[in-house]
Structure 1
Amino acid sequence: MNRRTLSRVALACVVTLAAALPLRAQVEIEQVTSPGGIDAWLVEDRNIPFTALEIRFRGGASLDPPETRGAVRLMTALLEEGAGEMDAQGFARATEGVAANFDYSAGDDTVSVSARFLTETRDEAIDLLRASLVAPRFDEAAIERVRAQALSAIRSDLQDPGVIASRAFDRLAFDDHPYGTPSDGTPESVRALTREDLVAAHGAALARDRIVVGAAGDIDAEELGQLLDDLLGDLPAEGAPLPADVDVEMPGGNRVVDFDTPQSVAVFGHAGLPRDHEDFFPAYVLNHIVGGGGFESRLMEEVRDKRGLTYGVYSFLAPKDHAALHMGRVASSNDRIAEAISVIRDIWRDVAAEGVTEEELADAKTYLTGAYPLRFDGNGPIANILVAMQLDDLPIDYAETRNERVRSITLDEIDRVAAELFDPERLTFVVAGQPEGLDDAETLSQ
């Protein structure tokens, strides 16, 4: 058995072992600052020779200029397609040889980089990851291959009523802000992207002034600090300016995008609360009761269980970096979607006027406090939690105090937030399909 095979087997073994270890309801989080000034949060765990590293670059696809929409997404997909002296195949072989795993993705507000590596081959893994971040090749052959994949995904999305409804909702909510157009671009914009556009997107998005890091596993603070400087120290000091904040003013009512499908999909919502709002936490618990609690939520009970109008309906808080929404989604047959929308509107009005019950709040507290420790089920999930806490500007002791904050929420507090957050007049539905019974709906283009 050669070294490459041994390394792969070793990584598989330690990941399996990590999953089998007892769940850690409490974790000790250490704030680390590298000699070069890069900050990170760390949970050290010497039980297994394995480390998970999560890196986020604030800005994400929202940094795209209108004329090169999709550039950040395409650039990010190309980071593993060759770096330094290695082409795409060479980089893949080298990564496999040290049993490392890297993942790169881009959303509206962040470029995300995830790394998993063994202690034994840490130095080699970090050298490879550094090359992909600092010196990606952007070979023309790789660009064309990944561009073709991106165009295929975009064409598929144009035939998906859920995507169609979501994009029309975004246009209505955000207008000419970057959030108002697809982060993966259009067929026209992606076809027009040049290598120079991708190089520019790389410099705009991957810079030291927007790095957020979470790490968990077999590494201490000193080792992590040196690793961060080695890995990220040669990136540009500053990236492109972040986009402006945008106020969401939904018009209310119903909008329809005509699409030939037997089942309509509706995306609904209005303005929400930013993550740093003093009422966000009770709003999160409130949303769990109304639409975020799966089969136990009011939406599921009234729309699915009592009336059989859908297989699934849910709501969620969407606090983006530059705007905040309270949103939901439901799908139903064309002849029943109007009734589903009517029931959801009634629930919105009832929650705004009457709030929730003591029993609903008690059940939500039981579920949310019981489920939270289950999230800390290995180095990878812990590193993800650490980076998410920092992105949300949460205190470093949040993991310790979060459940007590849930338990301390009162019914009066929940009901006050319900009256302020739920806005039946601004609640806007965008439906993709051929719904029956929405005669007052305005038509939108796809």
Structure 2
Amino acid sequence: MKYLLTALFAALLALPARADIEIEEVTSPGGITAWLVEEPSIPFVSLELRFRGGASLDLPGNRGAVNLMVGLLEEGAGERDARGFAEAAESIAASFSFDASDDAVSVSARFLKETQPEALALLRDALTAPRFDADALERVRAQVISGIRSDLKDPDSIASAAFDRMVFGDHPYGSAREGTEDSVAALTRDDLIDAHAGVLTRDRVYVAAAGDITGEELSALLDDLLGDLPATGRPQPADVAVTTEAGATVVPFDTPQSVALFGHEGIERDDPDFFAAYVMNQILGAGGFESRLMNEVREKRGLTYGVYSYLVPKDHAALYLGRVASANDRIAEAIDVIRAEWERLAAEGVSEEELAEAKTYLTGAYPLRFDGNGPIADILVGMQMDHLPLDYVETRNDKVAAVTLDDVSRVAERLLRPEALHFVVVGQPEGLEATPGQ
């Protein structure tokens, strides 16, 4: 059976890239809504679930509980222990993945049309009746703690943790979703049961499917799959303002190359200027070798192998971030160049040629995302999380194409804030003065 699944995956990857998909909204008798792209040509279904809130719903003192709970969802459920659950899934060529991010718990399921009832029964058990057996709990706890210890030796993880602490403080965003070694070691089975009941609830679930399943079939299965989950969950955390000052925070670390994470406040996903900011960022730092940062920092000066910037619109805060790594004796120069480019784009905007190239790339690349049932279902559920309309797939490229030079200039002046651009540098940077109090 597993070889059949491999062949189906290969066939899915061979499907032509497209964005001209037809999205159907279906609602179960119990009121659960889902988005669907029906594709009966291959007897295979991809199902995506998202529960808004994620690790940001950890209770005070229980940091890491949601992450650990999610890691145990397929480690035994219903009548099956961890081994029994894995063997049952493999016997029907079904695959499940579970993940916790700051703002969501993500559940992905892939299964054959012919074994759909069995696959959904397994998924239902994982969602509604996880066992949290003692042996599985200790095994996964050890894996999480091992990852936490590894992060303490990773410059990128250290930089991210320091930046988050500086910006978010005591807000859940201010600490790692995995928790600390001590907080994870202290978690009990009751903590995980409580996290499960507070996070996996019907009032915050989003559902999308793509493949060989009809709207009627999807509507009929939703209540059975999700109907036994609690109706409501924990309250969402408060929004948090992002406040930074220009300068640098240095975290000493014994390495020949320093890593710098930099940024300041960003832009919300539903802001009217989001697409202008998206195009602007493509020109500044997201466009690979065509971006200004890569051209100035790598191509002209050879200060790094890579530098990039990216928009981070979280549910309760928005960031505009970037990352660069350079030798300890060159990182200060790299930072100076990045600051100069930040200031130049804010003051001067971009050229007609840069704008045209960025829009051509962004509109041309978009259809390539729709390269199989899995990616399509993932896009659909992401659209729902971002409160986008059903016709977004049809109108998205028009929104990119409509961005003008004036739009980019306006958003650059608004968004790029050199006076707030802060760098967290992990390493042993030479010639870089840390900002007092940061």
Both structures adopt the same fold (TM-score exceeding 0.5): yes
1:49 to 2:43 alignment: yes
Q: Show the counterpart of 1:131.
A: 125
- CA deviation after TM superposition for structure 1 residue 25, in Å: 2.7
Q: Show the counterpart of 2:418.
A: 424
Q: What letter matches 1:89 in structure 2?
A: R
Cα distance between partner residues in 1 of 2:248 and 2:12: 49
Cα distance between partner residues in 2 of 1:277 and 1:440: 34
- CA deviation after TM superposition for structure 1 residue 262, in Å: 1.0
- CA deviation after TM superposition for structure 1 residue 441, in Å: 3.3
Q: 1:158 to 1:442 in 2, by over 3 A?
A: farther
- CA deviation after TM superposition for structure 1 residue 18, in Å: 1.6
Comparing 172-181 with 9-18, which one deviates more in the overlay?
Answer: 9-18
Q: Show the counterpart of 2:226.
A: 232
Residues 250 and 427, structure 1, Cα contact 8 Å, conserved in 2: yes
Residues 79 and 104, structure 1, Cα contact 8 Å, conserved in 2: yes
Q: Show the counterpart of 1:274.
A: 268
1:341 to 2:343 alignment: no
Comparing 306-315 with 23-32, which one deviates more in the overlay?
Answer: 23-32
1:79 to 2:73 alignment: yes
Residues 216 and 383, structure 1, Cα contact 8 Å, conserved in 2: yes
Q: What letter matches 2:127 in structure 1?
A: L
Residues 266 and 320, structure 2, Cα contact 8 Å, conserved in 1: yes
Q: What letter matches 1:389 in structure 2?
A: M
Q: What letter matches 1:49 in structure 2?
A: P
Of residues 168, 187, 190, the one that matches 2:184 is 190
Q: Show the counterpart of 1:210.
A: 204
- CA deviation after TM superposition for structure 1 residue 213, in Å: 1.0
Of residues 216, 222, 226, the one that matches 1:222 is 216
Residues 257 and 443, structure 1, Cα contact 8 Å, conserved in 2: no
Q: Unmatched 5+ residue regions in structure 2?
A: none
- CA deviation after TM superposition for structure 1 residue 344, in Å: 0.3
Alignment of 1:206-355 (within 5 A): 206-355=200-349
- CA deviation after TM superposition for structure 1 residue 65, in Å: 1.6
Cα distance between partner residues in 1 of 2:309 and 2:295: 13
Q: What letter matches 1:51 in structure 2?
A: V
Cα distance between partner residues in 1 of 2:106 and 2:426: 31
- CA deviation after TM superposition for structure 1 residue 439, in Å: 2.3
Q: What letter matches 1:400 in structure 2?
A: E
- CA deviation after TM superposition for structure 1 residue 11, in Å: 1.8
Comparing 29-38 with 10-19, which one deviates more in the overlay?
Answer: 10-19
Q: State the TM-score, normalizing by the size of structure 2.
A: 0.99
Q: Unmatched 5+ residue regions in structure 1?
A: 1-6
- CA deviation after TM superposition for structure 1 residue 12, in Å: 1.9
Q: What letter matches 1:187 in structure 2?
A: E
1:403 to 2:397 alignment: yes
SS at match of 1:171: helix
Q: What letter matches 1:426 in structure 2?
A: A
SS at match of 1:120: helix
Q: State the TM-score, normalizing by the size of structure 1.
A: 0.97
Of residues 361, 381, 405, the one that matches 1:387 is 381
Cα distance between partner residues in 1 of 2:89 and 2:179: 30
SS at match of 1:356: coil
Cα distance between partner residues in 1 of 2:84 and 2:424: 46
Cα distance between partner residues in 1 of 2:18 and 2:39: 11
Cα distance between partner residues in 1 of 2:290 and 2:206: 35
Cα distance between partner residues in 2 of 1:152 and 1:306: 40
**Identity over aligned residues, as a percent?**
66
Residues 289 and 297, structure 1, Cα contact 8 Å, conserved in 2: yes
1:168 to 2:162 alignment: yes
Of residues 146, 155, 158, the one that matches 2:152 is 158
Residues 128-168 of structure 1, C-alpha deviations (whole Å, 9 max, x = no match): 00000100000010000000000100000000011101110
Structure 1 stretches of 4+ moved >3 Å: 440-444
Q: What letter matches 1:401 in structure 2?
A: T
- CA deviation after TM superposition for structure 1 residue 91, in Å: 0.3
Q: Show the counterpart of 2:99.
A: 105
Q: What letter matches 1:133 in structure 2?
A: L
SS at match of 1:441: coil
Cα distance between partner residues in 1 of 2:13 and 2:174: 40
Q: What letter matches 1:48 in structure 2?
A: I
Cα distance between partner residues in 1 of 2:221 and 2:91: 20
- CA deviation after TM superposition for structure 1 residue 443, in Å: 7.4
Q: Show the counterpart of 1:3.
A: none
Residues 256 and 442, structure 1, Cα contact 8 Å, conserved in 2: no
Q: Show the counterpart of 1:115.
A: 109
SS at match of 1:372: helix
Q: Show the counterpart of 2:372.
A: 378
Q: 1:229 to 1:257 in 2, by over 3 A?
A: same
SS at match of 1:266: strand
Cα distance between partner residues in 2 of 1:159 and 1:440: 21
Would you say how many aligned residue pairs link Structure 1 and Structure 2?
A: 438
Q: What letter matches 1:79 in structure 2?
A: L
Q: Show the counterpart of 1:4.
A: none
